Amino acid sequence: MCGIHGLVALDEQTQFTQEQLIKMGDATIHRGPDDSGEYVGEGVAIGMRRLSIIDLSGGHQPISNADDSIWLVCNGEIYNFQSLRKDLIEKGYVFKTGSDVEVIIHLYQEYGDECLQHLNGMFAFALWDKTKKRVLIARDRLGIKPLYFSLFNGTFAFSTEAKAILALDGFSARINKTALSQYLELGYVPAPLCLLDGIKKLEVAKYIVIEKGSISQHSYWQPEFTPEQKSDDEWAELIFNQLEKSVKDQMVSDVPIGAFLSGGIDSSAIVALMAKHSDKAVKTYAIGFDTGKAGEFYNELPYAKQVSELFGTDHKEIVVRPDVVSLLPKLLWHMDEPIADSAFITTYLVSKFARQDSTVIISGVGGDEIFAGYRRYQGEKYAEMYHKIPKFLRKGLIAPLAKFLPADRGNKWLNYSRLAKSFIESAELPFSERYHSYMEVFSSDFRASLLKDNGCNNHDVKSLFAKETTEQAVWQMFDIDRQSQLPDDLLMLTDKMTMATSLECRVPFLDHEFVELAAKIPQERLMANGELKHLLKLSLKDTLPDSILFRKKRGFGAPMGAWLKEELSGLMNSLLNKTTVEKRALFNWPIIEQAISAHNASKEDHTDHLSALMNLEIWCQLYLDGRSSEEVTQSIKDAI
C-alpha cells in the first residue's frame, strides 16, 4: 500500500528531475511513511511513498525486472500473487523480491496489456516499458484504489491523490463548474471529472497507454449479468464459499491485521470468517457517538460487542464526541474533493483508533451493493404496490399530503417519515428517473435555483442508464452504483480516510470473482419477497445469529442532521452566511437561507444539502484560497 505519482513527456524535449518526484511524494507522505523511491528515465519519471505490508525489507519501489528494461510503481495489493508467482517461475521468470507487485512486471512481459486479466486485487499502477518507450497506467476493476491524472505543459501527470499534481510548478487550482454541478447532484464528484479543473480521475476497470506522445484509454472488465437458475440453498452455498475464499485471500499480511466491526451483517460476516482462519483472536474495532439521543440512533456498539463475544475477538471500542470544527478542514484536505456523506468522519475516527495496533484493516464495504442491501433497491417492489392504489387518490390526496410530512434522520420515526416522503414524491416517475431521485442530493430544480452560473448544470447521472447491460432492474441499479457511488463516494472516502492514518483497508465483498458470482443471481432470488440481502442472510444462517441477520439496517455515518441544529449550528453559520456565500459567488444566498430555516424547523431534511455546501466552502478555502487546514480551522473558530 502506498501513494504513487509520476510524469510522462508527450514530446521529445521534455525531461524530468528527481526533485519533481520528491515534491509530489512529499504531498502524500501520509500514504507511505515507511519508504520512498524515484526512477527518472528518458521522458518519464515515476515515484512512490510506501506503507510496508508484504516483504517489509525487500518490497522497495519503483521495482524493475532483471535487466531494468521495465519499471513499475503500484499502490495496492495483489491477492493471488503467490499462485501467479509460481506459474511465472515455471515459465522461467526470475524474481528479485518477495513483493506481491513484482508479478505485474513479469505478467506484462508474458501477456502485455492482457496482464490485467490475470490480477486479483486492489491496485492502481504505472508501468514503464523502456524498450518500447511505452507507459501503461491501470486501475482495478471496482475502483478500490484511486488514480488522478492531468495533461498540461506537454506533460501527462498522474498520482494517487490530486494534491500531488497540485504540487507541480505551473499548475494552478481552479474549480471545474461542470464537476460542481455533479457534486451538487450526487454529493460527490463522479469520475472522470474532478472538482479541480484540469485534473481527471481514471474510471473503474480502465487503463491508459501512452506511446510516442499519443494517449489512449481502454476498458478491460465489465461484469456479465447472466442469470443462472439454481435453488436458494445452492446459491447460499456458493456465496458462502466464495466469501470465505475472498476473506482468507485478503488476510495475507506481514503486519498486524484487524477488522472494522459495526455489528451489521457485512462486517459481522467478515469477522466470523477471519476468526475461522486465524490462529489467534481477531482484532476488532467499533465506534459510537456521545451525542445524546442522536448518538443513540447511530450507536451500534451493543451489536458489535455481541459479535465480538460470539467469535472471541480482541475487541476495542471507542465512544467519541468529535471536535468536528477541527476535523473537517483536516479531513477535507485529505479527501482532495468535498463530499456530503458524513461517513468520512466516522471512517477517519475509527481508522485512527484502529491504527494504534493494526496496519491492515478488513471492511464490509460493498456488501450492500452486490447483495441488494439498500432500501432504494426495494423501490420497484414498493412502486408496484403503490400503483395499485387508484390514481386519483395517489395524485389528489396522498401526494399533496406527503409534502407536509416532517423529515429528520436523527430520529427513528421522523426518519421513516423522511423516507416515505421521498418515495411518494418520486413514485410516479419512470424507473430511471425514480432511481435517480433516490441517489441525488440536490434535484435539478434545486440546482437551477441555487447556482449563479446555471450553464454548468448540464449533466445528469441518468445518462448511465443508457449503458444498459441487463434487463433486471436490481442489477441495472447495481451497475449504476458500480460506476458512480461505489468508487467515487464509498471507496474514495474509505481509501482517503484510512490512508490519512496510514492504515490499509481491504474489502473482500468487492473481490471481482465474488462480484462476477453475484451477477449471475436472478434478481427475484437476490431479494426474494422484497427482503434485502435475502441470499446473503441465507448463506450465513449457520454462522450469525438471527439478532444480527435480521436487525434493522443503519448507516455508518455521523448524526450530522442533529449536530447542525445544535452543536454545529455555529460552524454552519460561519460557513453559510450571506457575506461568505456572496463573496464566493457560486450560489444564490436566499436559496441557502431558506434551506437552513426549513431544516431547523424539521419541515425538510436538508442535512445532505447543508453538509455538501459547508464542506464545499471549507474545500474552497483549502484548495482555491491556498490556506492550510490549521488556518481554516482557526478562522472558523474565530467566527464562531
CATH of the domain at 157: 3.60.20.10
Q: Which residue has the cell 419512470?
A: 430
Asked if 53 and 121 count as a contact pair (C-beta separation under 8 A), the reply is no
CA dist., res. 350 & res. 436, Å (int): 31
CA quadruple 463, 467, 473, 474: dihedral, nearest 10: -100
Same domain, 236 and 367: yes
Same domain, 367 and 487: yes
Q: Is residue 224 part of a domain?
A: no
CA dist., res. 410 & res. 494, Å (int): 23
Q: What is the CATH number of the domain that holds 306?
A: 3.40.50.620
Crossing angle of the two packed helices 589-600 and 607-619, in degrees rounded to 10: 130
pTM over 0.85: yes
Q: Is residue 227 part of a domain?
A: no
End position of a domain, from candidates 187, 219, 251: 219
Q: Is residue 36 part of a domain?
A: yes
CA dist., res. 85 & res. 616, Å (int): 46
Residue 232 cell numbers, joined: 436458494
Quote the pLDDT of residue 436.
80
Domain, as residue range, for 400: 375-473
Low-confidence ranges of the chain (pLDDT < 50): 54, 294-295, 297
Same domain, 367 and 488: yes
CA dist., res. 353 & res. 311, Å (int): 21
Residue 83 cell numbers, joined: 499462485
CA dist., res. 158 & res. 386, Å (int): 49
Residue 492 cell numbers, joined: 474514495
Quote the pLDDT of residue 295.
45
String of DSSP letters for 375-439: GGGGHHHHHHHHTTS-HHHIIIIIHHHHTT----TTSHHHHHHHHHHHHHHHTTS-HHHHHHHHH
Q: Is residue 594 part of a domain?
A: yes
Instruction: Identify the three-state secondary structure at position 502.
Output: coil
Q: Is residue 225 part of a domain?
A: no
Same domain, 296 and 205: no
- End-to-end CA distance of the chain, in Å? 39
Same domain, 502 and 520: yes
Asked if 270 and 316 count as a contact pair (C-beta separation under 8 A), the reply is no
Quote the pLDDT of residue 466.
60
Going by C-alpha positions, the residue among 363, 360, 350, 372 that lies closest to residue 510 is: 363
115 classed as catalytic: no
Q: Is residue 132 part of a domain?
A: yes
- Give the count of domains, the chain: 4
Asked if 480 and 464 count as a contact pair (C-beta separation under 8 A), the reply is yes
Cβ atoms within 10 Å, residue 174: 12
- What pairs with residue 601 in β-bridges? none
Same domain, 486 and 618: no
Q: Is residue 354 part of a domain?
A: yes
CA dist., res. 464 & res. 477, Å (int): 10
Same domain, 458 and 486: no
Longest dimension (CA), the chain: 77
Going by C-alpha positions, the residue among 132, 99, 96, 136 that lies closest to residue 115 is: 136
String of DSSP letters for 193-232: B-SBTTEEEPPTTEEEEEETTEEEEEE------------H
CA dist., res. 318 & res. 350, Å (int): 8
Cβ atoms within 10 Å, residue 111: 12
Quote the pLDDT of residue 463.
63
Asked if 168 and 23 count as a contact pair (C-beta separation under 8 A), the reply is yes
Quote the pLDDT of residue 294.
47
Same domain, 174 and 94: yes
Q: Is residue 30 part of a domain?
A: yes
Asked if 155 and 561 count as a contact pair (C-beta separation under 8 A), the reply is no
255's torsion region: left (phi>0), alpha (psi -120 to 50) or beta? beta
End position of a domain, from candidates 502, 524, 549: 549
Look at strands 63-64 and 283-289 and give their pairing.
unpaired
Residue 390 cell numbers, joined: 387508484
Going by C-alpha positions, the residue among 30, 295, 3 that lies closest to residue 123 is: 3
- Residue 62, preceding peptide bond in cis (omega within 30° of 0): yes
Of the residues 2, 115, 194, 620, only one is catalytic, namely: 2
CA dist., res. 602 & res. 615, Å (int): 21
Same domain, 351 and 397: no
CA dist., res. 542 & res. 548, Å (int): 12
Same domain, 266 and 313: yes
CA dist., res. 63 & res. 96, Å (int): 9
Residue 615 cell numbers, joined: 464542506
Same domain, 57 and 184: yes
Same domain, 262 and 384: no
